[in-house]
Structure 1
Amino acid sequence: MILMNSTQVSHFTLDAYFDVGLLKYVIFLIILTFYISIIGANVFLIVVICVNRSLHEPMYLFLCSLFVNELCGSTGLFPSLLVQILSDIHTVSAPLCFLQIFSVYTYANVQFYNLALMSYDGYLAICHPLHYNTRMTSNKAAMFIALTWFFPILHVSVMISLSGSLQLCGNIINKVYCDNFLIVKLACSDTTANNTYGLVYMFTVIAALIIVIFYSYMRILRVCFSGSKQTRQKALSTCTPHLVSLFNFSFGGFFEIIQSRFDMSGVPNMLRIFLSLYFFTFPPLFNPLIHGLNLTKVRIICKSLLFGKV
């Protein structure tokens, strides 16, 4: 209710959609297939980790947090996207628009926190294996997971509060889903607070997470080059899925930033839409496959559940 009273518009128009005729039903089925696959893969691995006590270790708990976040982010985007694909009028009410912003931005932030946490966990396991069980206990892992959710939710809540207080002079968002940055660009009131808050968050929190990731992997690489063959194999098996997830996330995040900050009118509509959806489609779809197939314990338990006793 606060958001509706503080903005001049009651709804937003998503202007990136265009008429594709009967092809919209094919696109609908493709998107629906992606969504069902994401839900199925992530739910399956969450259940596997939760019901097997042998997987109640920090590394698998961090993976569980990653999969839960991917479920939340996908559910914040795809149901609305599917409705918009079949609709002829691509509008969304202001409260639902801000709710979607909360969902997708929380997903992006929690994902980044999770990847930083997983890199730090890998650093401890490889660089300090003898002290790992004392430095990364189950209680500490639970505390880290709670923080990776608390701070992003707090950040996104503050961000939306600042955006919701703006006076808007338009309601057209050139995207297939609601985006906070594009709403701020619609403001005809002072956006200094929004811009300052975003810059401070980027140069403090985001910079700190990047430093953690780079430091962790630099130390891991150092062990890889100087350690024994067995140590190198352990490091590669532990870090390869993490690095793939990180590059996949960074690749999608790069296109998401480009989409929001720069003029993409020269890019074909279908390609623009694909790039904007990459961030919310491919990481949640491939992360369960990457980690599920790579981790021996998870792979064995999945086989036993699907095909009987192994």
Structure 2
Amino acid sequence: MMENVSAVTLFTLSGLNFTMEQRIILFLLTLLWYLMILLGNVGLIFAIIMDKNLHEPMYIFLCNLCISALYGTVGFYPKFLLDLLSSHVISYAACMLQGFVIHSSTCSDFSILALMAYDRYVAICRPLVYHSVMTRQRVSIFVFLSWFIPLYCMFMNTATILGTRLCGSHINRVYCVNWMIVTLACSPPKANNAVSYFNMLFYFGHFVFILWSYTYLIRTCTASKEKWGKFMQTCMPHLISLLTFTAAVLLDLLYMRFGTIDFSQDFHNFMAIEFLIIPPLVNPLVYGFKLTKVRKKILSFVYIKRKDAKCHPVTSHIRGELSN
């Protein structure tokens, strides 16, 4: 029996007990939401890249936060959309890859948010040394580490699961998560438990650092109207993003580990995917509307397009008259 259960090549995913009509409606709504996520994040990335005035540490970190959102959502939405129109199964290799992408994207978000908090701390609390601290070389190193460390941590987490004997092939979730695969193991791998708890403590340290930095910022800025105005302008979007993302991730983590089966399947599905729905769309909206430089750049693109659209008919009319 152990030989049979260890040779799992396909996993079945749960949560899509809908009729075909309901699946089609859900497919269209999910596709629309995913397109909004793509448009918002790609638009913000494009605005930052195209404007040299936005090539500052704060906006570079913001650009990477948007890239992380795109990276994480591409690990979920395409497969989920396909599942809505077909059987809800996934191969062993694809399951491992999906779990790795979603987990590493989440950890990368925390790393980037920590960098953004540090950047605001130096900019507001130590403005005289800001440019000597946040040099281009140091920012590049920070960005590299904010991607390398999460990828490495999640690679180690995923590696500890590979080769584990499994006593089942049904995952009680709409997508693959490493923890769910561990629960299927005939004997939970001790190495995975050790790596998982290390990762949780490591990124809990990120959260503590962010909390400390913002507490210090608020205490410092309340003593000065000028600093408070700067805090509200540049730090408030970061704080909203942090609270939204942290709440979403904690709800998912706590529900996955300690949730009960007394709730409905729809509620269970929402708790599983809410951190893939809300933060990826909230971030570009919050930063796009709140940060003045980004908002002006986006509005300038819209104004130029509208101006070109108005000028094209006139240009065509003049060309027509000249040809006659």
- Which TM-score tier does this pair reach, normalised by the shorter chain? over 0.9
Q: How does 1:91-170 map to 2 (within 5 A)?
A: 91-170=89-168
Would the alpha carbon gap of residues 7 and 102 (structure 1) be closer, same or farther in structure 2, given more than 3 Å must change? Answer: farther
Partner of 1:3: none
1:224 aligns with 2:221: yes
* Correspondent of 2:183 among 167, 182, 185: 185
Give the secondary structure class of the aligned counterpart of 1:114: helix
| Aligned-residue offset at 1:77 | 0.4
| Aligned-residue offset at 1:21 | 3.8
| Aligned-residue offset at 1:7 | 5.3
1:82 aligns with 2:78: no
Give the secondary structure class of the aligned counterpart of 2:246: helix
| Aligned-residue offset at 1:239 | 1.3
* Correspondent of 2:239 among 238, 243, 247: 243
TM-score, length basis structure 1: 0.94
Alpha-carbon distance in 1 for matches of 2:249, 2:228: 30
| Aligned-residue offset at 1:222 | 1.1
Q: How does 1:242-281 map to 2 (within 5 A)?
A: 242-281=238-277
| Aligned-residue offset at 1:132 | 0.7
1:306 aligns with 2:302: yes
| Aligned-residue offset at 1:262 | 2.2
Partner deviation per Cα, 1:71-108 (whole Å, 9 max, x = no partner): 11111100000011112x21101111111111101111
Alpha-carbon distance in 2 for matches of 1:140, 1:158: 26
Would the alpha carbon gap of residues 250 and 207 (structure 1) be closer, same or farther in structure 2, given more than 3 Å must change? Answer: closer
Give the secondary structure class of the aligned counterpart of 2:90: strand
Aligned residue identity for 1:217: Y
Partner deviation per Cα, 1:191-215 (whole Å, 9 max, x = no partner): 2111111112222x22321232022
What are the ranges of 5 or more consecutive residues in structure 1 without an aligned counterpart?
A: 1-5
Partner deviation per Cα, 1:164-196 (whole Å, 9 max, x = no partner): 121111111000000100100100134211111
Aligned length: 302
Give the secondary structure class of the aligned counterpart of 1:164: coil
* Overall identity of the aligned pairs, in %: 37
* Correspondent of 1:199 among 190, 197, 200: 197
Alpha-carbon distance in 2 for matches of 1:142, 1:119: 16
Q: Tell me which structure has the larger Cα radius of gyration.
A: 2
What are the ranges of 5 or more consecutive residues in structure 2 without an aligned counterpart?
A: 308-324
| Aligned-residue offset at 1:136 | 0.8
**Contact 1:13 1:92 (C-alpha < 8 Å) held by counterparts:** yes
Aligned residue identity for 1:107: S
| Aligned-residue offset at 1:270 | 1.1
Aligned CA-pair RMSD: 1.6
Choose 162-171 or 252-261, whichever is displaced more. 252-261
1:171 aligns with 2:152: no
Give the secondary structure class of the aligned counterpart of 1:45: helix
Alpha-carbon distance in 2 for matches of 1:158, 1:199: 12
